[in-house]
Amino acid sequence: MLFVNLEYLINLKDTENFSMTRLRFILIFCFLTLWAAPSDADVVHLKNGGRQMGIIVDKYADRIVLSIPEGEIEIMMDQVKNIIYDDPENNYMMLASKYEERKDYEKAVTYYNMALELKPDLREANDAINRINDIVDKKRKRKEELLAKLREKKEQLLKMREEQETILRNNVGFNIEKEGDDFRITDVIPESEAAKTGIQDGDYIVGVWDKATKYMPREEVIKLLSGSEGSKINITVQKEIKPQSEEINWGTRSFKGIGASLSMETEGLTVISVMPDKPADLAGLKPLDLIISINQEPTRYMPMEEAIKNISNSQGQTIDLIIHRRVELTRGPDLSGENDSSSLNKEKTGEEPSL
């Protein structure tokens, strides 16, 4: 409020340096100030640049009710830019409400508490804090429930995976782990049929029956590998063989190589036979193995002469061969029957090895 001592102003006219014109100016200024800035008023600033002064008597989700000298008017909230309250606590309430709308609950509660410091019995502030606490508590509980469900699902998947691995290991004698887009063989059971065919930890499954397993989901590969006890399954295994090239004596002849005979067949560079106790045999190479690469060089488009040259010119050196081997296994923990793939180990007699 602006208080003016009129008697004091009027008496000023008797002073020596005061004129009536100056007195009139001061009086007019005081009355204009009182008229232009009424006390105890809220100011609603509108988005169109206007403003409305009065006292907010009700506030709803989409509108406010403003009491003015002519009565009560409603102003829609989508037309309101901001509100300046006459009471400081209401300004804190407005700021808190803005932060609550943005879901910044920490700042919202801070401003609601500031309003309570000015007016401890402000019910709206207490209700707002309780409401936010309820929202935060519900969110916390939902998060805990979601995490519990995720943990339960993870445990179920882990249990299912363990069961699958147990079944798979009993079925075919090994497990598989996804490695990039490929499937690495692990946990080969010693003395199992898989182990007897030469399958080792670190080999890769590249095919089951006529299906290539690269890029397949793990579950689909396990489904292909698994089956009833006693049933047969054909798989293609990728192995790394590292024979050392040396001088090979064959009758009256000698040559540089690894002790294996090769042929370029429809499927690719194929091992025809392996000499006993020579580098190829000692490294684990078997007849009908398909050589995929020689020292990291693919053999798909490699001429036969070049393949022989790459091996024979490496005397005294270890040769890195990647091979594919097709084997037949009998499924089930009680292995029955003989492994037909044993025929792969038979050496063709009467053939002169080319390497």
pLDDT in tens, 292-347: 999 999 999 999 999 988 888 776 789 999 999 999 999 876 333 333 333 334 34
> Which tens digits make up the pLDDT trace of 190-222?
988 899 888 999 999 999 998 999 999 998 999
Q: In DSSP terms, which residues pair with 176 in a beta bridge?
A: 185
Using pLDDT thresholds of 50, 70 and 90, give the confidence band for residue 165. confident
From the list 289, 287, 303, the residue with the least C-alpha distance to 353 is: 287
Concatenate the DSSP letters of all residues of 311-353 into one string: HHTTTTSB--EEEEEEEEEE-SSS--S--GGGGGGPPPTTPPP
For the cut 50, the answer to whether the pLDDT of residue 151 exceeds it is yes
> Which tens digits make up the pLDDT trace of 94-109?
888 888 999 999 999 9
Cα gap 185→213, rounded to integer Å: 13
For the cut 50, the answer to whether the pLDDT of residue 28 exceeds it is no
For the cut 50, the answer to whether the pLDDT of residue 7 exceeds it is no
SS3 234: strand
Cα gap 224→242, rounded to integer Å: 30
For the cut 80, the answer to whether the pLDDT of residue 285 exceeds it is yes
What does the pLDDT average to over 44-69?
A: 89
Higher local confidence (pLDDT), 240 or 168:
240
State the pLDDT at residue 210.
87
What does the pLDDT average to over 278-285?
A: 94
The beta strands (E) that lie in the chain are given as: 42-46, 51-59, 63-68, 71-76, 80-84, 175-179, 182-186, 204-208, 211-212, 232-241, 246-250, 253-257, 260-265, 268-274, 290-294, 297-298, 321-330
> Which tens digits make up the pLDDT trace of 107-144?
999 989 988 998 999 999 999 999 999 999 999 999 99
Task: For the chain, list the domains and their CATH numbers.
Answer: 6-134 (2.30.30.100), 173-355 (2.30.42.10)
Higher local confidence (pLDDT), 15 or 87:
87
State the pLDDT at residue 346.
38
State the pLDDT at residue 355.
63
